[in-house]
Chains A and B, each alone.
Chain A
Amino acid sequence: MGYTFALAGNQNSGKTTLFNQLTGANQHVGNWPGVTVEQKTGTMLHHHHGKQTHIGLPWHVKKSQTEGKPVPDKYSDVTIVDLPGIYSLSPYSMEEIVSRNYIVKEKPDVVINIVDATNLERNLYLTLQLLQLGCPVVVALNMMDEVRGRGDSIDLAGLEAGLGTPVVAICARKGEGIDQLVSRAMEAAQKKLVPQKLDICDGAAHKALHAIVHLVEESAVAHGMTPRYAATKLFEGDDVISQELNLSAETLHIIEEILASMEKEIGMERVAVMADTRYRFIEKLLSTCYHRVAPEGDTLTDRIDRVMTHPLLSIPVFLLMMLLVFYITFGPIGTFIADGFSALVDGGIELIAGALERAQVADWVQDLVVNGVLTGVGSVLSFLPVIVLLFLLLSILEDSGYMARAAFLMDKPLRKLGLNGRSFIPMMMGFGCTVPAVMSARSMNNTRDRRFTIMLTPFMSCGAKVPIYALFTAAFFPEHKVLVMTALYLGGILVAILAGLVLKKTVFHGDAAPFIMEMPTYRLPTPANVLRQMWDKAKDFLQRAFTVIFLATIAVWVLRSFNFRFEMTDNIAESILGKLAGFIAPIFAPAGFGNVEAATAVITGVMAKESVVSTLAVLAGVDMESAAMLTAMKAVFPTTLAAVSFLSFVLLYCPCVAAVAAMRREMESGKWAILTVLGQTLLAWLIAVIIYQGGMLLGL
């Protein structure tokens, strides 16, 4: 006889650890039907005295099964279903809807509710809701080793009596208590031990709830729900349950009257009344069952958060942090390191150029190697220290736990755009690289929020654009590097905000899903983690330099050096590149950079943004770190206004092909990806034209 156990609990309560303990390698991962929420099922290993003695059924039992004999109960085949991590059974997120629909409609034999014993107050909120569903529930108090480590203790018998359902202490990580948990769960399944009815309400709320129970009893039972669960959901204003029950207009009106009267009497909204009722019950229960040794007080994290999440101070602190990061990266320290590295790269190029000349290599081969490959790749490589320094600082911020606070801070402003704080994480990652940023949006289960976030993420200046910004600031704004860099990053964010507001009114109507996130405790960044993330970024940068940029550099050199008759030419206008780019360049004339070099740089930038720098270097025929660079850049961009216009175009136009491919995959639609790319490019062109033409009108 097979049973089904469902695992339910908050995120980070140890659910997955318990699931792995119970099922071992017998797991299957898929999706819940019709949604993008992950579904994990597995077959339970047989536990005997805490040790796993069999995988699946023992051979002699399997043999008897094939002979048609029944399987003894102690070897029962049990399926474990791992439900998504949730904090309540509200209808606001797909995970919650999936979990409660599964328990109500599929009716597993037992729900094992994993509760983090170090955080009972929050975890028991879900427990109280699970107890109403009419399924046998066994509460697994996990992380008991941490509770004992603090010197605290929990009265399990008292908790069991208070909740009216079995409670078992476990430590999933160490495999402690699993055997007992399985035994209690099997007993609950075999004897169908439904939790005792818990009356947690009092006063006006109690009267209102019971009145609703009587009104909806028949309808609830007819739809497979317990009357108390249905009544509680209607009490909370759950539209989904209201529609499922198919109540008459008259019944709905009476329920509304009951709740309005209760709200008036208590002076609180109905949702707040229910939440308050639950938490008061939990507080009362824990006051008798949880024995704390150490007095509760402010931790260091709490004290730091008083500033970092202060209603008035938090945003200025965040902006100050970002300014500090940019100052260190692009200011005196960053410039010193970058100049030193450039000198090394230049020295290397000179050595190779000298060696080729002494070896009397053919002029055109020398030109290809020195002015093509080495100049192109070298000009990008020289920005490696800047990239590494930027990522060192961002990794430190992330590893310290601050970025989680930043996401929390951004929730309110992002809601004005129709997004929530969860969108901040991909956007922050977008400052590194758009590809993993777009991929991390996958954690957003709401399709609307995910697509919206992905559309705005490329506006965050990725690390690949840093060489472009650094080049232009050195050429045109040498005295104001930090200011210009900061303005560029903030400019991208500003355009994202404006684009978000437009998209909210047009394509993405409605509000974002609610946002709940665990705040990790602050900790000193571990050197290993920080250095590993820095190395990841440096490795990626070097890989791109020696793959995409290397190939782009050769392609540009070939197209620039040969005409359509495959004869070498010095005249760029006569070259293949000149002829091809000549068709595209006029498009950029209104924006002030309608020349072959700029047009080519923009096109190669689609392959990899760093290619903009290498392309300009190859076409100008100079090393971008040399003094001749200034003259070369001014030849391509005669005025500072043209340079600003080009910078704004590069800031905003479509991301690289790798990012576009990631967008297509995560949006699950080529149409959306193409629309995003076209929209961004058109917006970039419009803004560049406005800047240039507006500047010309103002006489700049």
Chain B
Amino acid sequence: MKLSDILILAGLALIAGAAIHAIIVRKKKGGCMGCSNCPMAGNCQKEKEANE
């Protein structure tokens, strides 16, 4: 394999790792997508748990 191949594959692996991390972080937030017009504003279970 050439250096260019390795760099490209490494780049893809990095992006894949970042994608997995982002998915895990969102899962930990209970699926919260941070919508500006959040339907649960003022009644968010996650906020309550964080405050307790």
Contact = CB atoms under 8 A, between A and B. Distances in A.
Question: Bound pair: A and B?
Answer: yes
Interface of A: 16, 29, 38, 356, 359-362, 365, 368-369, 373, 398, 425-426, 429, 433, 435-436, 439-440, 442-443, 529, 532-533, 535-536, 540, 543, 546-548, 550-551, 554, 658, 661-662, 665
A649 to B, nearest CB: 25
Nearest to A440: B39
A554 B38 contact: no
A436 B22 contact: no
Contact of B16 (A38, A433, A529, A551): A551
Contacts of A365: 5, 8-9
17 contacts: A16-B42, A361-B2, A426-B39, A436-B33, A439-B31, A442-B40, A442-B45, A533-B37, A536-B37, A546-B19, A547-B20, A550-B15, A551-B19, A551-B20, A658-B26, A665-B30, A665-B31
Contacts of B19: 546-548, 550-551
B36 A536 contact: yes
Contacts of B31: 435, 439, 658, 661-662, 665
B4 A361 contact: yes
A532 B39 contact: no
A412 to B, nearest CB: 23
B12 A554 contact: yes
B16 A550 contact: yes
Contacts, number: 83
B16 A554 contact: yes
- Size class of the contact patch on chain B: 20 to 34
B48 A29 contact: yes
Nearest to B47: A29
Given A369-B12, A440-B40, A550-B16, A362 B2 contact: yes
A12 B1 CA distance: 67
Contact of B8 (A361, A661, A662): A361
A380 to B, nearest CB: 14
A95 B35 CA distance: 27
Contacts of B8: 356, 361, 365, 369
Looking at B20, B33, B43, B48, the one whose CB has the most chain A CB atoms below 10 A away is B33
Nearest to A369: B8
B50 to A, nearest CB: 12
Looking at B2, B34, B39, the one whose CB has the most chain A CB atoms below 10 A away is B39
B44 to A, nearest CB: 9
A361 B8 CA distance: 9
Contacts of A662: 31
Contact of A532 (B16, B26, B36): B36
Contacts of A443: 39-40, 43
Contacts of B38: 436
Contacts of B30: 665
A443 to B, nearest CB: 7
Given A536-B36, A665-B31, 12 more contacts: A29-B48, A362-B2, A362-B5, A373-B12, A436-B33, A439-B31, A439-B40, A546-B19, A551-B23, A554-B16, A658-B26, A658-B31
Given A360-B2, A369-B8, A547 B22 contact: yes
